Amino acid sequence: MASTEFQHDTATHCPYCAFQCGMRLSGPRDAAVVAGDADFPVNKGALCIKGWTAAEALAHPERLLTPLVRDAGGQLVPATWDTALDRVAEGFRKTRTDFGADAVGIFGGGSLTNEKAYLLGKFARVALGTANIDYNGRFCMSSAAAAGIRALGIDRGLPFPLEDIAQAEVILLAGSNVAETMPPIMQYFEAQRANGGVLVVSDPRRTKTAAAADLHLRLTPGTDAALANGLLHLLIRDDLIDHDYIRERTEGFARVRQVAATYWPERVERITGVPEAELLQAARLLGRASAAMILTGRGAEQQAQGVSNVLSFINLALALGKVSRPYSGYGCLTGQGNGQGGREHGQKADQLPGYRLIADPAARQHIAAVWDFPEDELPGPGKSAYELLDSLGPQGGIRALLVLGSNVAVSAPHGNNIRERLESLDFLVVADFFLSETAQLAEVVLPAAQWAEEEGTMTNLEGRVIRRRRAFDPPAGVLTDLELLERLAARLGREQWFTYASPEAVFDELRAASAGGAADYSGITYEKIEANQGVFWPCPSMDHPGTPRLFAYSFPTPSGKARFHPVLHRPAAEEPDEECPLYLTTGRNLAQYQSGTQTRRIAELDAMAPEPLAEINTVTAERYGLVDGDWLTLQTRRGAARVRARLTDDIRPDTVFAPFHWPNEQSANLLTNPALDPISRMPEFKVCAVRIVKE
């Protein structure tokens, strides 16, 4: 790979998580130097080890630099772009002719820039005419998104800037291990505690984050709603709720009060395993604080009752009268790099840009006008992420698939099923910068540009729209995803809708498409982002400064009030039994990211976390005759994964934790349960029943 390019000090952002740390890149591509950007007000110069090492993927020897097509012998062999794109266009055309437009599916990702997510959604509807597009963000944020819309009228991860965390008197952090997954955020929690604040963490594990808390509620996996209802019960009982706020700014409390009455402390202790005394302590801390904040993460959200869980925490924040108050309220800590923006601009099955619903006639009219495309040719809602993947192949009806920015063979639940479904496709196309486990199954693999080689915007967990800047041109033979979609659309006869002078031109069209929608970007420009270190949406006009804090005067609901939702705790879709006597919960660790396509290839990260370590309580391990470092098999009703034991007292004796960053026989997603939340269609990654088989 050419290494002669040299760029001086490009200010951009880390490619990984939703914290989107500001960083500066300098030097040649094959020896690029990363520095934290002290001027960026979010991370203030701090990075985690993933950020420090991110540039190593740019010139990695395994990087894809040419398209690959499968030859007659079944091997992936290098090809020209013309050959590869002709084959893709022909494959999609034939599938549409033989089986209809919806037989072509698209699977996107929560790490794509806003421009790419937008264009991918348009490509599905306009170039392919398929309803079936969804993305891996469905596996990440969808429960919090659905709950936020239902209760507060809008889905923006944090409705306040991160700096508010430092000023909160009490924070309840439910199911998030940010000390490992986004360490630079800890500066805000540390500042909060230095200011005299108190941190309460609920998690089945004593994670690094829980260890840093003043109070750790070590709940049974899958019992978040019972915990929240139990806390609300105590707040009502001890009259620590805000009656004026409830009357003036909310609706629906009466039914929630009735439900909460049935979650008395003894019952909640029985369900959650959290001692009554700790429940009372947490309730009093929250109820007596003038500024209280409740934050949720994937632990509470990635469940088949994820929406209910989040609604129960929002109930709590509303009853406390804290949503919209200074340094208070409810927020969700988004996970993927563009987990926020990626869900706003049309790569979800039910959505059009600007957070519009594709089934809404007014939304369709608006987008059809912006695109200058016949409204009646826009497809309707398609299948959600897991349902889309489960429909691959002749039996489900989706016969061809384009995957962009996702490694579903590792990251989707019930991995054995997903692999079978991928293998049963007539035609699979994957765009990636490494030969991921999904790309290895493809008919055509298209080499993609990386983060530091493209222009665009991302939206961080605060709703702050920021610039991703190009430090290097893509290597010879590599296209950006925008260029790829444009060329493919031209081959499908849709060139007139996919001709853009630059990524900024795509963003300008996105702005127009989002105008008047819930996620209104119309007043945001690249220049404005540059001048302000990002702009918070909604920003509905050029003279609008953006909206760091939502809900000051009203909620974007028909009545202007926030809505309580009565929530009943339900058992997990699969509870431990004789066959599988333990809970399994999955998650991330510090040195790896998502399916590990990038991070497993970075030497320093691989050295830190070369294999999956399953956390098992020492008492449980003794029962199975395990010692630290033993290899073992975790077995569920869906599959088996080989992992190494890490014995610890920091996890409940009835629970095993496995990280999900590894492929093949080490993949935790061979084990996970695809039971879906009825509203968000989120799979139950965080709870299932497992047994340990000693080797």
Q: Is 539 in the site for ligand SF4 (CB under 6 A)?
A: no
Q: Does 58 bind ligand SF4 (CB under 6 A)?
A: no
Measured distance CA(282)–CA(79) in Å, rounded: 61
Tell the smallest beta-carbon distance from residue 654 to ligand SF4 (Å).
31
Dihedrals phi, psi of 401, to nearest 5 degrees: -145, 135
Q: Does 479 bind ligand SF4 (CB under 6 A)?
A: no
Amino acid at residue number 384: S
CA atoms within 13 A on the CB side of 538: 16
182 touches ligand SF4 (CB under 6 A): yes
Q: In the complex, what is the shortest distance from the CB of residue 405 to ligand SF4, in angstroms, rounded to a whole number?
A: 16
Listed ranges 180-188, 280-288, 576-584, 609-617: which one lies at the site for ligand SF4 (CB under 6 A): 180-188
Q: Which residue is at the shortest CB distance from ligand SF4?
A: 51
- How many positions of this chain bind ligand SF4 (CB under 6 A)? 14
CB of 53 or CB of 296, closer to ligand SF4: 53
Q: CA–CA separation, 138 vs 634, rounded Å?
A: 26
Give min distance, CB of 183 to ligand SF4, in A.
Answer: 6
**CA dist., res. 60 & res. 597, Å (int):** 12
Residue 419 sits in the site that holds ligand SF4 (CB under 6 A):
no
| Number of separate helices (H) and strands (E) present in the chain | 23, 30
Q: Which stretch binds ligand SF4 (CB under 6 A): 40-48, 192-200, 217-225, 509-517?
A: 40-48
Query: CB-based contacts of 176: which residues, under 8 Å, 6+ apart?
Result: 203, 209, 295, 296, 297, 298, 299, 333
Q: Does 17 bind ligand SF4 (CB under 6 A)?
A: yes
Nearer to ligand SF4 (CB atom), residue 14 or residue 519? 14
Under the binding rule (CB under 6 A), the answer on residue 148 touching ligand SF4 is: no
* Residue closer to ligand SF4, measured from CB, 51 or 287: 51
Q: Residue 184 CB, nearest distance to ligand SF4 (Å)?
A: 5
> DSSP string spanning 216-242?
EE-PPTT-HHHHHHHHHHHHHHTT-S-
DSSP state, residue 627: -
Assign residue 289 a region: left if phi > 0, alpha if psi is -120 to 50, beta otherwise?
beta
The Cα–Cα gap between 138 and 680 comes to 8
Interface with ligand SF4 (CB under 6 A), residue from 48, 225, 291, 452: 48
Indicate which single residue of 24, 25, 37, 51 sits in contact with ligand SF4 (rule: CB under 6 A).
Answer: 51
For CA atoms 333, 340, 434, 15, give the dihedral sign.
negative
14 makes contact with ligand SF4 (CB under 6 A): yes
- The least CB distance from residue 531 to ligand SF4, in Å, is 22
Q: What's the DSSP call for residue 640?
A: E
Tell whether residue 140 is a contact of ligand SF4 (CB under 6 A): no
For the purposes of burial, counting CB atoms within 10 Å of the CB of 262, is it exposed (0-12), middle (13-18) or buried (19 or more)? Answer: exposed
Options 46-54, 186-194, 543-551, 632-640: segment touching ligand SF4 (CB under 6 A): 46-54
Is residue 21 close enough to count as binding ligand SF4 by CB under 6 A?
yes
Provide, rounded to whole angstroms, the least separation between the CB of residue 35 and ligand SF4.
12
Near ligand SF4 in 373-392, by CB under 6 A:
none
Q: Which of 563, 549, 678 is nearest to 314 (CA)?
A: 563
Q: What is the widest separation between alpha-carbon atoms in the chain?
A: 73
Decide: is 50 part of the binding site for ligand SF4 (CB under 6 A).
yes
Is residue 404 at the binding interface for ligand SF4, with CB under 6 A as the rule? no
CB atoms within 10 A of CB 67: 26
* 19 part of the interface to ligand SF4, by CB under 6 A: yes
Site residues, ligand SF4 (CB under 6 A)? 14, 16-17, 19-21, 43, 47-48, 50-51, 182-184
